[in-house]
Amino acid sequence: MANTLRDSYNKTTYKLGNHGKRNVQVLKEAIQKVDENTESDMYGQGQIIEDFQQKMANLLGKEAAVFFPSGTMAQQIALRIWCDEKDLGKVAYHPLSHLEIHEQDGLKKLHKIETVLLADETRVIELEDIKQMENGVACVLLELPQREIGGQLPSFATLEEISHYCKEQGIKLHLDGARLLEVLPYYQKTAAEVCALFDSVYMSFYKGIGGIAGAILAGSEEFTSQSKVWKRRYGGDLISLYPYILSADYYYEKRAHKMGEYYESAKELAAFFNACEGIRTLPITPVSNMFHVHFELGKEEVEAILTDIQEIMGIGISGYVNAIDENTCSFEISLGDAYKEVPTETVRKMFDILAEKISE
């Protein structure tokens, strides 16, 4: 059934989430107007990479920035730098941090860095969690939004309190801002205003922006200089990174200003889901362009329902469903350009059918 669900999703005319298909056209669109005589970067140097790094440093309000091929590489390096500076091999983050559950313990295996898990798996980190953590932590990592719990966010006041406390205690504060741009409409702040609370910042170029790959790591001149050394040690200084940089810049310019639109679309779509009995979103009202959809039905039942609807309506709802237990399941959705392409009346009709099938 899982393959049938994925197949039905791939065959739909419209999609509720994301920006469209991730195929070669994404790269072709990004480079079609680039001057063919533009010189490539070489091993982290050259105008194409240096200009983009400065552009991102300005955006994030930091002294300097470094382009990395992956966020996994960038964040492990950031935490290593802060641990070395403090001569403390221990960091703290959420139990569902990307570093904890998606990186094969890279931080621990490669750097022998210990981790302290803050808060429980159902909520975001609060100031009290940091105040109560064990001593000897070099850096605290905060993820905004917290993806694995539906993209939940702490209040901006809480961020300010955490930042102030960490500075007082001599603890570095790092931002996992993979989806940083996506939270700005909720906070009603600029990227620089959010990043001012953090000593270092990572941002992705393939999530909400929809580029090919790549990440930026920003901070002080000293911090970023050290990150370049570690980037070389990791093998991240590819001879050229320009395909990633060109696509990152292109899609940043195309979509960064649309994050408010995606946020409003997420709230609208979540309301449709929540109007169906037996379905709820997490959060109930999204705080970014992403949320989770939870069903009070088993995985196989939901797969069958979604497959039928996708085949009937030609709208891709999801290509997968994750079982929570025998009687509940969920999937994640992130809003982008694709949602506005679906006729509103078609969306309403689709949810009428969904509500009917769920009630059966």
Distance CA(166)–CA(156), nearest Å, equals: 15
Determine contact, residues 326/24, Cβ cutoff 8 Å: no
Position 357 pLDDT exceeds 70: yes
At 245 the pLDDT is: 98
Mean pLDDT of 137-161: 98
Q: How confident is the model at residue 1 (pLDDT cuts 50, 70, 90)?
A: very low
Q: What angle do CA 175, 180, 181 make, to 5 degrees?
A: 160
Phi, psi torsion values for 140, nearest 5 degrees: -110, 135
Taking only the tens place, the pLDDT of each residue in 334-344 is 999 999 999 99
pTM of the complete model: 0.96
Mean pLDDT of 289-295: 98
Position 3 pLDDT exceeds 80: no
Start-to-end Cα distance in the chain: 19
Residues in contact with 345: Cβ distance below 8 Å, sequence separation at least 6, in sequence order = none
At 360 the pLDDT is: 84
* Distinct helix (H) and strand (E) counts, the chain: 15, 13
The closest alpha carbon to 60, from 244, 215, 228, 261, belongs to 215
- As a whole-number percent, the residues of the chain with pLDDT over 70 amount to 99
Taking only the tens place, the pLDDT of each residue in 50-99 is 999 999 999 999 999 999 999 999 999 999 999 999 999 999 999 999 99
Two structure tokens written together for 107: 């931080």
Phi, psi torsion values for 42, nearest 5 degrees: -140, 115
Average pLDDT, the chain: 97
At 170 the pLDDT is: 97
Position 345 pLDDT exceeds 60: yes
Two structure tokens written together for 152: 């939940």
